Copies of this chain bind each other. A is one copy, B any other.
């Protein structure tokens, strides 16, 4: 799973949101580092829906503009949980090696 996809699932884990709100949520979540392109977001939404990880929650018309809300499915929650565990495991392995390396090499840089 790529980063944008993971972030979309994370955004929806907090509760149903419509597309544009997901973009904003992710931007906030990442301190502005990640601002998904519309193409990326809606393609991801379609794909995740086809995979059964998210589904349409409801549709609203606000100021004559459509808002389509999405929510995480059970499968989506499981998938996000597994992916999160994977991220944490890999971070831990990398940190252990980096720490060991610093002890070995000291402050030396190539």
Interface residues of A (CB under 8 A from B): 2-3, 6-7, 9-10, 13-15, 29-30, 55, 71-74, 77, 80-81, 83-84, 87-88, 90-91, 93-95, 97-98, 100-101, 104, 109-110
CB-based nearest B residue for A89: B30
- Judge whether B55 and A80 touch: CB under 8 Å: no
CB-based nearest B residue for A78: B109
- Judge whether A6 and B90 touch: CB under 8 Å: yes
Taken together as a complex, chains A and B put the C-alpha atoms of A3 and B1 apart, in Å, by: 8
A87 / chain B contacts, CB cutoff of 8 Å: 87-88, 90-91, 94
Taken together as a complex, chains A and B put the C-alpha atoms of A61 and B87 apart, in Å, by: 37
CB-based nearest B residue for A3: B90
A105 CB to closest chain B CB (Å) equals 9
The one of B7, B13, B100 in contact with A14, judged by C-beta atoms closer than 8 angstroms, is B100
